[in-house]
Amino acid sequence: MLRGLSLLTLGTAVACASGHPADPPAAPGSMAPRLTRFDDRVVLSWVEPDADGVPALRFAAREGPGWTAAGTAFRGTDLASDWKDVPSVAPVGGGGLVAYWTLKRGHSKDARDLMVAMSRDGGASWTNPARPHRDNTDTEHGMASLLPTGDDGSFGICWLDGRAGAKSEYGDGGTSLYWAEWSGSGFGDEKLLDDRVCDCCQTSAARGPSGPLVAYRDRSPSDMRDTSVIRREGAVWSAPAPVHADGWTLTACPTNGPSIAARGERAAVTWFTGVNGTPSVWTALSPDGGKTIGPPVRVDGGDPIGRVESTMLADGSTAVTWLERKGKLAEVRVRRIAPDGTPTHPVIVARTTPAKTSGYPSIVEDGDRTVLLAWTETGPKGRIHAASIDLP
């Protein structure tokens, strides 16, 4: 049931917009939706149990107003299927698909290996999985983001990596951020982007005018957990740069990562913070591919849970989705930020639960001022849903 498409209004604070159901061929119990777009190709992936209860990474491609039949990229009892470490099947240049997921390693609840496989026939067959990381430690490798880097099918992937803790004398090395790039025959050398980052917040990557842009939740020696961005120009990566000095310090991971979107010279970073005990969601715009970032604009309605994602539209505006607390429920909301930083009225897309099992909503461009959203409805008959939404 696509309950959100009544698009209820909350006084004058939330605008009403037209919406069109676009549910994928996902089964009850499906979760962890992720929408990805490359040029005019859109793919939605998710995790669902098969008839034997074994979790499987499933996917379908957007075809007109609907979807192709669902395919399976990977299934296995060791597939790490939770709400935060979301796998994906993404389109890349040359008509290919790339799937990535994490596998549980040994008996540790946290140790995982990041696996990547490719398909050149629409997902009918897949290459043997490869790991972008070359260490062999029983530590975390996950929270990955994949980014196509060329029209030839090349791509890069960033991930959170716990090897420093395993190799340090007292296990206090912390979590790091790494990047590796696929050139067609295998992964190149791993690149350490930041040696100390938040342990379990999602990463995000976008194509900037000069190379990849990576956004993530950083972690200072004093446990300040603000959002940072790293840029690559040619072969050179920049130093981490804070998006905004929130000053949010806490000793636990909030499991609430940022999102970065880019188009041409423009870029936008969206993030959640709980500084001073006040949860809030913000977007900051960049006119020059992340070199300089303007003042942040508040996006939420006053009581956000966070779990943000964003996409950039053809006119240079940014569409942001997040979860907003509403009584005992949560609302999947979306809002457009105009190129000059002016926020339009937010739209309620659907209702779900604030519990962790509702996960992150996902969003991609679907037209000039239209976006495609996917989210998880929880409960005994819960599953993922999708809708195409016209924004004010």
Question: Is residue 95 classed as helix, strand or coil in its secondary structure?
Answer: helix
Alpha carbons 271 and 296: distance in angstroms, whole number: 10
Tell me: the pLDDT tens digits for 372-389? Answer: 999 999 887 789 999 999
pTM assigned to the model: 0.94
* pLDDT range class, residue 110, cuts 50, 70, 90: confident
- Give phi and psi for 104, each to the nearest 5: -65, 140
Alpha carbons 195 and 314: distance in angstroms, whole number: 35
- % of the chain residues with pLDDT over 70: 93
* pLDDT range class, residue 107, cuts 50, 70, 90: confident
- In order, the DSSP letters of 189-227 are --EEEEEEE-SS---EEEE-SSSEEEEEEB--TT-B--E
Smallest Cα–Cα separation from 242: which of 223, 268, 216?
A: 216
* pLDDT range class, residue 14, cuts 50, 70, 90: very low
Work out how many domains the chain is built from and give that number: 1
Average pLDDT of every residue of the chain:
92
Note down the domain range covering 228.
Answer: 3-390
Is the pLDDT score of 12 beyond 60?
Answer: no
Provide the pLDDT for residue 168.
63
Tell me: the pLDDT tens digits for 277-310? Answer: 999 999 999 999 999 999 999 999 999 999 999 9
Which is more confidently placed, 372 or 253?
Answer: 372
* Structure-token pair, residue 281: 């969601």
Provide the pLDDT for residue 5.
33
| CB-based contact 15:28 (threshold 8 Å) | no
Report the CATH number at residue 239: 2.120.10.10
Is the pLDDT score of 204 beyond 50?
Answer: yes
Judged by average pLDDT, the poorest of 53-57, 263-267, 356-360, 378-382 is 378-382
